């Protein structure tokens, strides 16, 4: 079993805790489903949020999804002029048999523009 990293992001329509939980849930569900993973395959998950998001921690949305016994951490993205607003990013470390070339990185909605080279 190998340790792999899976990236992803989603742009929120507004800074609202309920909306954030919904979008983070969709993002994490996409990461798991598109890579044939379960929550037992998660080792740890890093979330970042752009500085314009204040309503809640992205990890709270993952906890509501049922990701309970996995270390989660949140950090703030760099405040870069011209960067896409209201974005939550994820870097999940997982155990999987998939080779690096078969990992599906998940960029939802407008966030797909952030990494056109790897967005699925």
7 carries a ligand binding annotation? yes
115 carries a ligand binding annotation? no
By the 10 Å C-beta count (0-12 exposed, 13-18 middle, 19+ buried), 93 is classed as: middle
Distances in whole angstroms, Cα of residue 28 to Cα of each of 63, 100, 111, 119? 11, 19, 14, 15
102 carries a ligand binding annotation? no
C-alpha Rg value of the chain to the nearest Å: 13
The sign of the CA dihedral 30, 72, 47, 2 is negative
Give phi and psi for 81, each to the nearest 5. Answer: -60, 130
**Which residues belong to the annotated binding site for prephenate?**
7, 89, 107
**Which residues belong to the annotated binding site?**
7, 89, 107
């Amino acid at each position: 079993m190998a340790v792999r990293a899976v990236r992803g992001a989603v742009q929120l329509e507004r800074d609202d805790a309920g909306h954030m939980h919904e979008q983070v849930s969709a993002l994490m569900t996409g990461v798991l489903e598109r890579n044939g993973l379960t929550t037992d395959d998660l080792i740890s998950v890093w979330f970042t949020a752009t500085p314009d998001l204040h309503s809640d921690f992205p990890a709270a949305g993952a906890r509501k999804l049922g990701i309970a016994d996995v270390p989660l951490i949140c950090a703030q993205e760099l405040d870069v002029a011209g960067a896409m607003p209201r974005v939550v990013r994820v870097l999940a470390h997982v155990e999987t048999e998939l080779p690096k070339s078969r990992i599906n990185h998940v960029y939802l909605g407008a966030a797909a523009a952030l990494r056109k080279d790897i967005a699925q």
